C-alpha cells in the first residue's frame, strides 16, 4: 500500500500534467486505488486547487452506476505554484532520504562498474570471447566487493542489492542471459522498494525496459524474415518479464504491443500458408490436366456416353483389365523405351502386347470364318 506522501505526490504530479481529468484516468496512470485518489482530490478541492467542471456523458464507473466527474486544475497562478511546490517537496525529501541510505564503498565495486560501462560503450566492437572475459572479471570483482562490504551483516541489504543490480546488468549485456538477470533485478527491486531507495528502483526499471525494447526489436526482425514461430517465443519471454514487472506501465504497454504484433503475424502466417496450399493444389491440378488421356472403359454405347478422363496411373498396368490396359500402351511404352534403365521392361511389354495382338487377330479371323 502506498504511504500518504506517495499518494499525494502521484496524484498532484499527474494533475499538473493532465490539468483536466477524471478519477478513473488518474487511477489508470498512477496505479493507486480509487479510494486513495478520491481522498486526495477532496483535499485539493477544499484547498481550491481543483474544481468540478462536469461529468463524462455516456460513461459510467464500474461501481455505483454514476458517470465520472470531470475535474480541472485551477487557473489561479498562485494556486498552481502551490501544487508545484508540494510536488517539489516530495523530490527534495526523497533526495535527502536517498543520500542517507548505505551504498557500496568497495573499490572493487567501482572497478566492476567501470569495466561494464566501457564494455557498453564499445558495444559490437567486442567479440564474444572478449565479452565473456570482461564478465568473468566483473563477477570476480563483485565477489571481492561482497567480502569487503561484508554484505551478510544486518543493514547491508541495500549494498547487496546494489551489487546484484550491477551483476544483473553485466550478465544481460555481456552474455545475453536475460532470465538470470531478471531474477536478480526482481529480487533487488523488492529490497530497494522496501528500504525506500528510489534511485535504485529507477535503475532497475530502466534496465528492464532496455531488455524489453531489445526483445521487441528482435521480434520485429524475426517477423520481417518470416520466422513466425521464433517471434511467438519472444512474446512468451516477454510474458515472463511482465509477471515480475507488470506493474510498470511501460513494460505492460510493450508486452501488449508485442502480443498485438504477434497476433497480426499469426494471421499473416496463416494467410501465407493458405495461399501456398492453394498454389500447390493448383499446380497439382495443372499437372494432372496436362497428363490426362482419353480411356475407353467399354464398348457398349449406353454405358459410356462420353470419354472418361483419368490421371497417369500410379499402379501396375498388369493388374488392369485388358481393354483398359491397352489404352495406356502407347504412352507408357514410349516412356519406358525412352528410359535406358526401363528399356528392357518396355521390350517385355512389347512382347506381351504383341501376343495379345496375335490372339486378337486369331479371334477376329475365327469370327469372320
Rounded Cα–Cα distance for residues 328 and 322 (Å):
10
Residue 76: burial class (beta carbons within 10 Å; 0-12, 13-18, 19+): exposed
The CA-atom distances, in angstroms, between 262 and each of 9, 17, 233, 248, 257 are 37, 33, 10, 21, 9
Query: What is the 3 state secondary structure string of the chain?
Result: CCCHHHHHHHHHHHHHHHCEECHHHHHHHHCCCHHHHHHHHHHHHHCCCEEEEEECCCCCCCCCCCCCEEEEECCCHHHHHHHHHHHHHHHHHHHHHHHCCCCCCCHHHHHHHHHHHHHHHHHHHCCHHHHHHHHHHHHHHHHHHHHHHCCCCCCCHHHHHHHHHHHHHHHHHHHCCHHHHHHHHHHHHHHHHHHCCHHHHHHHHHHHHHHHHHHHHHHHHHHHCCCHHHHHHHHHHHHHHHHHHCCCHHHHHHHHHHHHHHHHHHHHHHHHHHHHHHHHHHHHHHHHHHCCEEECCCCCHHHCCCCEEECCCCCCHHHCCHHHHHHCHHHHHHHHHHCHHHHHHHHHHHHHHHHHHHHHHHHHHHHHC
Q: What is the per-residue pLDDT across 233-291, written as a single tens digit (0 to 9) for each? A: 887 888 888 888 877 766 767 777 677 776 766 666 667 667 777 777 667 666 655 55
Q: What is the pTM of this model?
A: 0.49
Positive or negative torsion for Cα 38, 43, 49, 50: positive
Residue 158: burial class (beta carbons within 10 Å; 0-12, 13-18, 19+): buried
The C-alpha cell 481529468 sits at 21
Ordered domains of the chain (ranges, CATH): 4-99 (1.10.10.10), 107-271 (no CATH), 295-299+306-368 (no CATH)
Tell me the CA end-to-end span of the chain in Å, nearest whole number: 114
Per-residue model confidence as pLDDT tens for the chain (369 residues):
344 477 888 898 889 888 999 998 898 888 888 888 999 999 999 999 999 988 877 655 545 567 889 999 998 888 888 888 888 877 766 655 555 677 888 899 999 999 999 998 888 888 999 999 999 999 999 999 999 888 877 678 888 999 999 999 999 999 999 999 999 999 999 998 888 888 888 899 889 989 988 888 887 788 777 777 777 788 788 888 888 887 776 676 777 767 777 676 666 666 766 777 777 766 766 665 555 443 333 333 444 444 444 444 443 444 444 444 444 444 455 555 566 666 666 667 667 666 666 666 666 666 665
Amino acid at each position: 500500500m502506498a504511504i500518504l506522501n506517495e499518494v499525494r505526490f502521484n496524484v498532484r504530479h499527474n494533475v499538473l500534467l493532465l490539468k483536466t481529468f477524471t478519477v478513473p484516468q488518474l487511477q489508470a496512470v498512477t496505479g493507486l486505488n480509487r479510494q486513495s485518489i478520491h481522498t486526495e482530490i477532496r483535499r485539493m478541492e477544499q484547498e481550491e486547487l481543483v474544481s468540478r467542471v462536469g461529468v463524462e456523458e455516456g460513461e459510467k464507473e464500474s461501481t455505483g452506476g454514476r458517470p465520472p466527474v470531470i475535474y480541472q486544475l485551477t487557473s489561479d497562478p498562485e494556486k498552481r505554484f502551490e501544487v508545484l511546490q508540494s510536488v517539489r517537496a516530495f523530490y527534495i525529501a526523497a533526495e535527502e532520504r536517498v543520500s542517507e541510505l548505505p551504498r557500496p564503498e568497495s573499490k572493487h565495486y567501482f572497478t566492476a562498474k567501470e569495466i561494464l560501462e566501457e564494455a557498453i560503450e564499445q558495444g559490437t566492437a567486442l567479440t564474444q570471447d572478449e565479452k565473456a572475459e570482461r564478465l568473468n572479471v566483473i563477477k570476480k570483482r563483485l565477489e571481492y566487493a561482497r567480502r569487503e562490504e561484508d554484505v551478510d551483516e544486518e543493514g547491508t541489504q541495500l549494498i547487496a542489492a546494489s551489487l546484484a543490480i550491477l551483476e544483473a546488468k553485466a550478465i544481460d549485456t555481456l552474455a545475453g542471459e536475460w532470465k538470470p538477470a531478471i531474477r536478480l533485478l526482481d529480487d533487488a527491486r523488492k529490497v530497494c522498494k522496501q528500504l525506500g531507495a528510489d534511485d535504485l528502483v529507477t535503475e532497475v526499471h530502466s534496465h528492464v525496459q532496455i531488455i524489453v525494447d531489445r526483445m521487441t526489436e528482435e521480434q520485429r526482425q524475426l517477423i520481417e524474415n518470416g520466422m513466425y514461430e521464433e517471434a511467438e517465443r519472444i512474446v512468451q519471454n516477454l510474458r515472463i518479464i511482465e509477471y515480475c514487472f507488470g506493474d510498470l506501465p511501460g513494460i505492460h504497454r510493450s508486452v501488449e504491443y508485442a502480443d498485438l504484433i504477434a497476433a497480426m503475424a499469426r494471421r499473416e502466417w496463416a494467410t501465407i500458408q493458405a495461399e501456398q496450399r492453394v498454389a500447390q493444389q493448383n499446380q497439382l491440378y495443372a499437372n494432372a490436366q496436362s497428363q490426362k488421356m482419353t480411356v475407353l472403359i467399354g464398348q457398349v454405347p449406353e454405358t459410356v456416353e462420353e470419354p472418361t478422363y483419368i490421371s497417369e496411373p500410379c499402379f501396375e498396368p498388369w493388374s488392369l483389365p485388358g481393354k483398359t490396359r491397352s489404352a495406356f500402351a502407347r504412352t507408357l511404352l514410349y516412356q519406358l523405351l525412352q528410359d535406358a534403365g526401363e528399356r528392357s521392361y518396355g521390350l517385355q511389354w512389347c512382347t506381351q502386347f504383341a501376343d495379345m495382338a496375335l490372339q486378337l487377330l486369331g479371334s477376329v479371323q475365327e469370327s469372320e470364318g
